[in-house]
Amino acid sequence: MADKQVFIFDTTLRDGEQVPGCKLNTGQKVEIARQLERLGVDIIEAGFPVSSPGDFQSVEAICQAVSAPTVCGLSRAVEKDIEVAARALRKARRPRIHTGIGTSDSHIMYKLRSTREKILERAVAAVAYAKRFVEDVEFYAEDAGRTSNEYLARVLEAVIKAGATVLNIPDTTGYCLPDEYGAKIRYLRENVKGIDKAILSTHCHNDLGLATANSIAGVQNGARQIECTINGIGERAGNTSLEEVVMIMRQHSDLGLFNNINTRLIYPTSRLVSERMGMPVQPNKAIVGANAFAHSSGIHQDGVIKRRDTYEIIDPLEVGVDHSKIVLTARSGRAAIAYRAKNIGHNLTKNELDVVYAHFLEVADRKKEVEDADLKQIISQAVDKAVGENLPGLQRVSTTGKT
């Protein structure tokens, strides 16, 4: 069973916080880190300590605030960065230094202005240096998505020898297709000597909307850690969404993979991160968007009212959302009106429903969404009109418990 566990590495407070305008103070970061601990993440990437005194302080504070998860600090393959990360992590019960360097030809030639051989040496030196401070050292091969598999395998083999415990394979630019990314992970598993001594990790960006698919392709091919953020926040189009990969593993038990996340805390955690960062969640966002469990077309509403799983694959309670929503719009049918009327205390007969429905459609064509207060008014107007016209069956619009 152990090799079927996928470790959840949350980088909301590092990669996620790189989003413009989403800066958090230390108190807010500690609050989120505590929530991530309750959620059950295995590793919290708390920050990039050398980047600013504030980030250093936040990493230190998080180390003292949480006890179960590993706390990780990012560094470049630079001795000063590694020393500062090690200092920030001193009080962590389980410290991890995450160090690495760009390995794609594009990064080597244009960003680092170096050669493959020199980069390989720097990678090894960085891991060996980090090992002086902590046992748990994760190596990232930046832009691994666009790095040749053969060269990547050479780098990884060398950093494993230097003591790397986790090998991060970032698709930094969100370029890969799922098959390609999955094949890369498989290639590394099959061709890197000593690979069994380390855990392979996915770290996928969402530039083409494929971050989740790529992460899942990664674990299907042998990766055992997923790096992700709450609400998928992160640089540019963001990172892999924690809530998506966790729920995919849960819904597809056929994958045979499990993780430690308490899924009932997903929605409250999503709200907390969104509020503290001032970063709204798009309404159609999978799992945590406002419309993720809302039904507005008549056909769907009829199905969900009869049996929830006709149009919902996840019970909202499982992710901490109270209930599914039946939203009243001009596309809604009689079943939805009867359902929502009952919820506000009106058990409509068939005749009553016909009259109320006709009034409802007039209102719904004018308004985007019909709320409970509107529906109450529609029902009472329909009744008044019916009583005035003395229509059969309409004198008695009944309120539950009353006539």
Region from 12-20, 128-136, 145-153, 208-216 binding Zn ion, contact rule CB under 5 A: 12-20
Q: Could you say whether residue 9 binds ligand KIV (CB under 6 A)?
A: no
Taking residue 296's Cβ as centre, other Cβ atoms within 10 Å add up to 17
Kindly tell me which of 138 and 302 has the beta carbon lying closer to ligand KIV: 138
Residue whose CB is less far from ligand KIV, 172 or 225: 172
170 in contact with ligand KIV (CB under 6 A): yes
Annotate 81-134 with DSSP letters as a single string: HHHHHHHHTTT-SSEEEEEEEE-SHHIIIIIS---HHHHHHHHHHHHHHHHTT-
Q: Which of 58, 168, 212, 269 binds ligand KIV (CB under 6 A)?
A: 168
Residue 179: phi, psi to the nearest 5?
-60, -40
Residue number, 15 or 60, with CB nearest to ligand KIV = 15
- Is residue 142 a contact residue for ligand KIV (CB under 6 A)? yes
Q: Which stretch binds Zn ion (CB under 5 A): 8-16, 76-84, 190-198, 266-274?
A: 8-16
Provide the minimum distance between the beta carbon of 74 and ligand KIV in the complex, in angstroms, as a whole number. Answer: 6
* Pairing outcome for strands 7-10 and 225-228: parallel
Residue with smallest beta-carbon separation from Zn ion: 15
* Residues 86/130, Cβ–Cβ less than 8 Å: yes
From residue 341, give the alpha-carbon distance in Å to each of 125, 306, 350, 352, 372: 69, 16, 13, 11, 8
Is residue 172 a contact point for ligand KIV (CB under 6 A)?
yes
Closest approach of Cβ 242 to Zn ion, in Å? 14
Q: How far apart are CA 159 and CA 121, in angstroms?
A: 9
d(CA 205, CA 82) in angstroms, rounded, equals: 24
Q: Check binding of 15 to Zn ion (CB under 5 A).
A: yes
Cα 282 to chain center, whole Å? 13
What token pair was written down for 13?
């407070």
Our finding on whether 171 is near Zn ion (CB under 5 A) is: no
Residue 15 or 55 having the CB closest to Zn ion:
15
Point out which residues bind ligand KIV (CB under 6 A): 15, 140, 142, 168, 170, 172, 203, 205
